[in-house]
C-alpha cells in the first residue's frame, strides 16, 4: 500500500480538472467480495479538488469512505481532512500533522499517566516539516503508511460496525503488518527523537494497543493465522541513540506479541481455561512493555591506546495497561506482568579489529552473608580437686537476601550484564520457573506491589540505578581510531512473567523480547584552552 506516492502524484495528474466528475480521485485501500446485494465492499481514500477564494489557489480535501456495506447506504464518509493547498511548498504537511495530532489525542494513555490527553499540546509543524525534507520518498512512504494505518484503526475498528473492522484487519492491516513491526522505519526513529518523550509515549501506546488487538484476534482464530507471521515474532519497536556521554536504548513491545517461553497451560491452540482465567488473560493482553536502558560511557586517551569504559547508569522497565480507565476492570486492576530477567549487552561492531582487549568488573555477584558469634562462659570455682566450670556458646547467622542477582559475562568483545529475579522464599529463578508460581498462598509474589519489601514500584514497574551494580567494563582500542566515530552495538533481552497477585488463579507464564541497535562512539580528544 503506497498511499504516499499516490498523494504526491495528485498535483501533477493530467486528468485533474475542475469539473465535478474529474476532480475526484479515488485510492482503494481495502476491498472484499460482494455482499448480499452483489456490491463490492471497500474502504476508499478520496481526494477532492476545489478552487480557493484566490484564483491561483488550488485546494484539495481528503476523505475516508465506506462503499457497499449494508445498513450504511451507498457511501458512508468516516473522516474528512483539513484543506491542503497545492500551491504551497509543502502541500501535504497539514495532512500529516492532522493525522499525527489525532493519533496522539486518541492515544490509550496508561493508567495514572502524568500527561493526560487534555494537556497534550498541539504538535509543532517544524519537526515534521524537517523530517519530510530530510528523508527519501521511500522512507517517508513507509512512515506515512504507518501513520495512516494507525489512524484508520480508530476509524474502522473502533468507530464503525464490526464488518468494517473485520475488513480492516483482514485486507488492510494484515498485508501491512510488517510496517507496524517498525523494523524498516528509519523515519519513525527520527520522529520520536524529535517530538519529545510525551508525544513518543502517546504514539507508541496507540500502536501497541492496535497490535494487542491484532494478537487477540489471531489467537481466538478468525482466519488471520495464514495471512501474517506468528504474533510471537516480536512485533515491536526499538531504537538506540547517543547523548551527552550516555548510550540509550528504548524499546516498546505489546505483551501478547512477545515470545512465550513458559506457561502452565497445555500446548494447544485452544487450551481449556476457566471463564475467570479467560477474562484475566484478555485483560493481561492489553499491556505493553516500555523499556529504557541507559549506559554511561567515558573515553580516555593515552600514549599507546584509547580506553573506553562503560557501566550501567539506569534501567527502567514499565508494564503499562492500555485502553482502560482507572475504574474499569477493578478485579484485575492489580494484575500485571512483571520483569523477571534483564540481559543487556554492549560492545564493538561484529568483526572489529581495532579492539585489543575487554576487561570486566567481576564474573558474578555472590550473595552477602554475615556470621555473628557470641560466647558466654560461666564458672564456679570451689575448693575441690576438680573445678566446676559451665560454658554456653551462642551462634547466630545473618544473611542479606536480594531480589535481584547480578552477573557479568562476555561474548567475544561484547560485555553482558545480566540481572535475574529470584524468589526469596525458595531461591528459585522466576524466569525459568514453570510450576510453583500459581495462585497459592505460598506464592512469594502475591501482593507484590505493596509492602516495604516489594521488588517493584507501586505502579508495577522497575527502576535500577547504577549504584545497585557499580562494576563496569572497559575496552582498549587502537590509537589509530582517534578522531573517528565508531558504531557500537547495544542490545537488550527482557523477560516478563506473570502469576496471580490479587486474584485467585493458577495461570502463570513467562514471555521474552529482544532488541538490538547501533549507537555512536565519538573518539575525539578534549580540546585544551590556554
Judge contact between 33 and 56, C-beta under 8 A.
no
pLDDT per residue over 187-215, tens digit each? Answer: 899 999 999 898 999 999 999 999 999 88
What span, in angstroms and rounded, lies between the C-alpha atoms of 205 and 254?
A: 9
* Residue 386 Rama label (left phi>0; alpha psi -120 to 50; beta): beta
Q: How confident is the model at residue 270 (pLDDT cuts 50, 70, 90)?
A: very low
Residue for cell digits 495532512?
95
Q: In whole angstroms, what separates CA 185 from the centre of its chain?
A: 15
Handedness of CA 2, 7, 9, 10 (dihedral sign): positive
Residue 500 has pLDDT above 90, yes or no: no
Containing 83, the helix (H) or strand (E) segment is none
The model scores a pTM over 0.95:
no
What span, in angstroms and rounded, lies between the C-alpha atoms of 462 and 236?
A: 20
Give Dmax (Cα) for the chain. Answer: 131
Mean pLDDT of 500-512: 87
Our CA dihedral for 81, 82, 83, 87, rounded to 10 degrees, sits at -100
What span, in angstroms and rounded, lies between the C-alpha atoms of 135 and 133?
A: 6
Q: How many CB atoms lie within 10 A of CB 170?
A: 17
Residue 289 has pLDDT above 90, yes or no: yes
Judge contact between 168 and 156, C-beta under 8 A.
yes
Judge contact between 173 and 43, C-beta under 8 A.
no
Mean pLDDT of 153-181: 85
State what percent of residues in the chain have pLDDT above 70: 75
pLDDT per residue over 23-47, tens digit each? Answer: 678 999 988 866 555 568 899 999 9
C-alpha cell at 321: 495497561
pLDDT computed for residue 47 by the predictor: 93
pLDDT computed for residue 142 by the predictor: 87
**111: Cα within 13 Å, side-chain hemisphere:** 23
Amino acid at each position: 500500500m503506497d498511499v504516499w506516492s499516490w498523494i504526491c502524484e495528485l498535483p501533477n495528474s493530467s486528468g485533474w480538472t475542475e469539473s465535478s466528475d474529474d476532480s475526484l480521485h479515488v485510492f482503494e485501500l481495502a476491498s472484499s467480495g460482494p455482499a448480499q446485494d452483489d456490491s463490492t465492499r471497500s474502504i476508499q481514500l478520496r481526494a477532492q479538488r476545489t478552487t480557493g477564494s484566490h484564483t491561483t489557489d488550488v485546494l484539495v480535501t481528503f476523505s475516508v469512505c465506506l462503499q457497499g456495506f449494508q445498513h450504511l447506504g451507498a457511501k458512508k464518509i468516516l473522516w474528512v481532512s483539513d484543506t491542503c493547498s497545492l500551491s504551497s511548498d509543502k502541500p501535504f504537511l497539514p495532512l500529516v500533522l492532522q493525522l499525527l495530532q489525532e493519533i496522539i489525542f486518541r492515544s490509550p494513555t496508561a493508567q495514572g499517566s502524568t500527561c493526560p490527553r487534555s494537556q497534550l499540546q498541539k504538535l509543532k509543524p517544524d519537526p515534521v516539516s524537517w523530517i519530510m525534507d530530510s528523508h527519501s520518498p521511500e522512507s517517508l512512504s513507509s512512515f506515512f503508511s504507518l501513520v495512516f494505518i494507525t489512524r484508520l484503526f480508530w476509524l474502522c475498528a473502533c468507530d464503525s460496525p464490526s464488518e468494517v473492522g473485520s475488513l480492516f484487519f483482514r485486507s488492510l492491516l494484515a498485508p501491512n503488518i510488517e510496517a507496524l513491526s517498525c523494523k524498516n522505519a528509519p523515519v519513525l526513529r527520527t520522529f520520536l527523537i524529535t517530538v519529545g518523550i510525551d508525544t513518543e509515549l502517546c504514539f507508541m501506546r496507540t500502536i501497541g494497543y492496535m497490535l494487542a488487538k491484532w494478537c487477540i484476534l489471531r489467537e481466538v482464530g478468525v482466519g488471520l493465522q495464514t495471512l501474517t507471521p506468528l504474533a510471537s515474532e516480536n512485533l515491536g519497536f526499538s531504537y538506540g541513540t547517543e547523548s551527552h556521554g550516555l548510550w540509550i536504548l528504548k524499546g516498546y513491545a505489546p505483551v501478547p506479541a512477545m515470545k512465550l517461553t513458559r506457561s502452565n497451560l497445555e500446548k494447544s491452540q485452544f487450551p481449556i481455561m476457566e471463564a475467570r482465567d479467560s477474562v484475566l488473560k484478555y485483560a493481561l493482553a492489553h499491556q505493553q512493555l516500555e523499556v529504557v536502558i541507559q549506559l554511561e560511557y567515558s573515553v580516555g586517551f593515552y600514549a599507546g591506546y584509547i580506553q573506553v569504559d562503560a557501566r550501567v547508569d539506569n534501567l527502567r522497565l514499565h508494564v503499562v495497561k492500555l485502553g482502560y480507565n482507572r475504574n474499569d476492570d477493578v478485579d484485575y486492576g492489580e494484575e500485571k506482568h512483571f520483569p523477571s530477567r534483564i540481559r543487556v549487552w554492549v560492545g564493538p561492531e561484529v568483526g572489529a579489529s581495532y579492539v585489543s582487549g575487554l576487561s570486566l568488573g567481576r564474573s558474578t555477584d555472590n550473595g552477602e552473608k554475615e556470621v555473628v558469634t557470641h560466647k558466654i562462659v560461666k564458672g564456679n570455682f570451689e575448693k575441690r580437686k576438680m573445678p566446676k566450670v559451665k560454658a554456653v556458646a551462642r551462634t547466630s547467622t545473618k544473611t542479606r537476601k536480594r531480589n535481584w542477582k547480578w552477573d557479568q559475562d562476555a561474548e567475544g568483545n561484547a560485555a553482558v550484564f545480566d540481572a535475574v529475579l529470584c524468589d526469596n522464599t525458595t531461591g528459585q529463578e522466576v524466569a525459568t520457573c514453570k510450576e510453583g508460581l500459581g495462585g497459592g498462598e505460598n506464592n512469594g509474589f502475591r501482593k507484590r506491589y505493596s509492602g516495604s519489601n516489594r521488588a517493584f514500584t507501586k505502579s508495577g514497574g522497575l527502576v535500577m540505578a547504577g549504584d545497585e551494580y557499580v562494576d563496569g567494563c572497559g575496552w582498549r582500542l587502537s590509537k589509530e581510531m582517534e578522531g573517528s566515530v565508531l558504531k557500537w552495538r547495544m542490545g537488550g533481552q527482557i523477560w516478563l512473567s506473570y502469576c496471580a497477585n490479587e486474584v485467585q488463579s493458577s495461570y502463570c507464564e513467562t514471555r521474552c523480547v529482544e532488541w538490538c541497535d547501533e549507537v555512536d562512539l565519538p573518539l575525539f580528544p578534549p580540546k585544551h584552552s590556554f
